[in-house]
Chain A
Amino acid sequence: MSHPAAPEPAALAEELSSLRERVMGVTETVVATVDGLLVAADASGVHPESVAALSAATLGLGRRATHEVGAGGLQEIVLRGTAGHAVVLAVGDNALLTVLGDEGLDTATLRREAPATVERLAKLLERHRG
């Protein structure tokens, strides 16, 4: 797994803050590698590095689980708590996007907007791999 050369920070930041603008209830977002390394974040309350590590572990586990039970390729993991949500989405094969939200997170709109965002993020990350 190649160490990601820094993708244009402005473009990534723009993408993340645009997502927060478009989807109600999104509080913070983190982009990380599947190894748990932080790539970018639009955050204020959480520690992005911790979220990156946790998300990578969650994604890895989720992928093994869906594979194991024959549910096909993992699309998203939604953690729902009494006070908020954490949604982990695969970005290409080597990265992930974590979307944190409050308990009113607009999951319907997120589901609609996520694919395009994920694709754009994947392209941005791809452009800067080695």
Chain B
Amino acid sequence: MRTLDTSLSEILSLPGVLGAALVDAVTGLTYGAVGEWEGTGGGIELSDLTGLLAERLNQAGATGELESVIITSRRRHHVTQVVERRGDAVLLTTVLDRERTNLALAMRQIAERAGEVLA
């Protein structure tokens, strides 16, 4: 049976990807992580952040749900994709090396992978 580890490793093999993790959108629990990833605290902060953003969007009257969050630092892009499912959503988060990645391309690839990460 395919494992979470395998699934995340597939994402790690994409060009420019330094790390990836799957995190619970509500509790912040990190279900799995590969490569360069901040660990437990990272998952909780991430879910807090996306939760806050989703809440603010909703309160501001936005229709539709939060889809992704991109945080850019000097050398990294942190791309977090919300993976909706039957049940509480999970967050697929990826750490990209800015120098080696075309963000738009990476976003597309990650979005595609997000559709299969739970398969």
Q: Do chains A and B touch in the complex (CB under 8 A)?
A: no
- Interfacial residues, chain B to chain A (CB-CB below 8 A): none
